[in-house]
């Protein structure tokens, strides 16, 4: 039976010569790259973390005071990354079963991605687990320790990639919804791109579609979500033209994902919790109110209100005017007074949101 003690080897020993800045200590918000990676692995339940250092090792060790990690010094760091790979493997505790091989220049991987890879390793008979995004392999691979000898005995020609290619029959590709597995930062422009990506605090459209695919959401529901997202764009463009700016990245992601659990009872709550678990709390918060909402008529327009309204304007994948939509729903409920009362409350909430939009835009709402 396969054991579950899994480590992470983070390679942070190189010169960062193409970046012209020392990569491990670059900042993302209030954290350095090396700190960010450690926190990510800890969040994924990885306790055995090895940091391979070399160039500017003292700077890294100073930053990591107080962290429960294993520092491994590579005195041959000038000979290339593969020497750091070997040093990290040599330092592993003998009871460790497998390890993530994590370059420091791929800093924004998500804890959920690591959990998916870890579970795939535990539940399969494969020795090398790769994350993939839209069919492309990324980092970090998860490698069984049975390959330690092959790596340690190699002269490094072609790097770790060439060695692992010899064991393709013992590998498994795991689709993840994390574009960051493909995003490295060799140069300054790469770092700037990653900074923008990190500030989204929401999955981009490709990641949203990957999430829907992973959870096997049926095509008709995806088409509905895409139409709702289209409507949120229309509404947001109207209000932003009047100087009202909200978290559009989170709003559009919530629109694409709002019905991810549509076939479940209380699907808005279940779906929002699924997205929070991935790491997108605010997106989940927006999703949670797309079925029922309390509208403050005198308060500012919110992302939750826009998604709520957009969802009420879309039947399957067709856009309807608000009164037309609710009349259709009422007709479908017959004489069920309890359901009719709930529908009327939702209708009034939608009309209240429309009034807020009309006050902002100083014109009638296009789907009113």
Predicted pLDDT of residue 2: 61
Picking from 169, 184, 200, the residue at the C-terminal end of a domain is 200
Query: Is pLDDT above 90 for 15?
Result: no
Question: Residue written as tokens 């926190």?
Answer: 39
In a domain, 367, yes or no: no
Distance (Å, rounded) from C-alpha 34 to C-alpha 49?
A: 11
257 with 339, same domain?
A: yes
Question: Residue written as tokens 């000038």?
Answer: 78
Q: Is the dihedral of CA 269, 108, 126, 121 positive or negative?
A: negative
288 with 305, same domain?
A: yes
Where in the sequence is the domain holding 246, given as residue range(s)?
205-361
Helices then strands (H, E): number in the chain?
15, 12
357 with 214, same domain?
A: yes
150 with 268, same domain?
A: no
256 with 220, same domain?
A: yes
323 with 187, same domain?
A: no
Closest CA to 103 of 150, 160, 58: 160
Distance (Å, rounded) from C-alpha 45 to C-alpha 24?
A: 22
Picking from 200, 217, 250, the residue at the C-terminal end of a domain is 200
Stretch among 13-17, 203-207, 233-237, 269-273 having the lowest mean pLDDT: 13-17
Picking from 165, 183, 200, the residue at the C-terminal end of a domain is 200
For the chain, what is the domain count? Answer: 2
Contact 35, 25 (CB under 8 A): no
Distance (Å, rounded) from C-alpha 185 to C-alpha 137?
A: 17
What is the pLDDT confidence band of residue 207, given thresholds at 50, 70 and 90? very high
Closest CA to 100 of 108, 89, 90: 89
What is the pLDDT confidence band of residue 38, given thresholds at 50, 70 and 90? very high
249 with 318, same domain?
A: yes
In a domain, 60, yes or no: yes
Who contacts 37 (Cβ-Cβ below 8 Å, separation ≥6)? 10, 102, 104, 107, 109
In a domain, 368, yes or no: no
Distance (Å, rounded) from C-alpha 210 to C-alpha 263?
A: 19
Query: Is pLDDT above 60 for 25?
Result: yes
CB burial of 20-46 (b: ≥16 within 10 Å; e: otherwise) equals eebbbbbebeeebbbbbbbebbbebeb
40 with 144, same domain?
A: yes
Other residues' Cβ atoms within 10 Å of the Cβ of residue 192: 11
Q: pLDDT tens across 255-292, in order? A: 999 999 999 999 999 999 999 999 999 999 999 999 99
% pLDDT > 70, the chain: 99
If you average pLDDT over every residue of the chain, what do you get?
Answer: 94
Pairing of strands 314-315, 318-319: antiparallel
Contact 288, 276 (CB under 8 A): no
344 with 210, same domain?
A: yes
Domain containing residue 323: CATH number:
1.10.3210.10
Which helix (H) or strand (E) segment holds residue 98: the answer is strand 98-103
Q: Rank 184-188, 206-210, 326-330 by mean pLDDT and report only the highest.
A: 206-210
Predicted pLDDT of residue 337: 77
Q: pLDDT tens across 70-108, in order? A: 999 999 999 999 999 999 999 999 999 999 999 999 999
93 with 176, same domain?
A: yes
259 with 347, same domain?
A: yes
Average pLDDT over residues 167-193: 96
Strand partners, 174: 131
Q: Is the dihedral of CA 254, 255, 260, 266 positive or negative?
A: positive
211 with 325, same domain?
A: yes
Distance (Å, rounded) from C-alpha 245 to C-alpha 303?
A: 10
What's the chain's Rg over C-alpha atoms? 25
């Amino acid at each position: 039976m396969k054991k579950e003690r899994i480590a992470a080897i983070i390679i942070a020993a190189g010169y960062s010569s193409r970046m012209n800045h020392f990569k491990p200590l670059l900042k993302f918000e209030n954290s350095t790259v090396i700190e960010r990676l450690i926190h990510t692995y800890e969040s994924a339940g990885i306790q055995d973390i090895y940091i391979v250092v070399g160039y500017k090792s003292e700077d890294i060790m100073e930053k990591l005071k107080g962290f429960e990690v294993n520092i491994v010094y590579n005195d041959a760091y000038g000979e290339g990354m593969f020497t750091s790979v070997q040093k990290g493997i040599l330092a592993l505790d003998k009871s460790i079963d497998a390890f993530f091989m994590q370059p420091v220049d791929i800093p924004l991987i998500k804890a959920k991605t690591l959990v998916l890879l870890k579970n795939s390793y535990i539940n399969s008979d494969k020795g090398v687990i790769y994350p993939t995004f839209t069919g492309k392999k990324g980092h970090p691979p998860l490698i069984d320790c049975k390959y330690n000898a092959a790596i340690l005995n190699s002269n490094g020609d072609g790097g770790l990639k060439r060695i692992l290619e010899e064991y393709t029959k013992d590998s498994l590709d795991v689709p993840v919804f994390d574009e960051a597995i493909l995003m490295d930062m060799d140069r300054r422009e790469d770092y700037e791109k990653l900074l923008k990506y990190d500030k989204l605090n929401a999955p981009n459209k490709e990641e949203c579609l990957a999430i829907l695919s992973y959870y096997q959401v049926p095509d008709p529901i995806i088409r509905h979500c895409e139409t709702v997202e289209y409507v949120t764009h229309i509404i947001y463009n109207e209000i932003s033209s009047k100087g009202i700016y909200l978290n559009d990245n989170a709003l559009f992601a919530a629109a694409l994902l709002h019905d991810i659990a549509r076939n479940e009872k209380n699907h808005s709550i279940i779906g929002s919790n699924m997205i929070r678990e991935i790491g997108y709390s605010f997106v989940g918060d927006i999703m949670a109110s797309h079925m029922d909402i309390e509208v403050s008529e005198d308060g500012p327009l919110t992302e939750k209100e826009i998604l709520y309204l957009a969802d009420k304007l879309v039947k399957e994948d067709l856009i309807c005017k608000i009164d037309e939509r609710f009349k259709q729903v009422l007709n479908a409920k017959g004489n069920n007074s309890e359901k009719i009362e709930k529908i009327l409350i939702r209708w009034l909430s939608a009309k209240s949101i429309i009034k807020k939009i009309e006050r902002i835009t100083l014109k009638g709402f296009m789907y009113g």
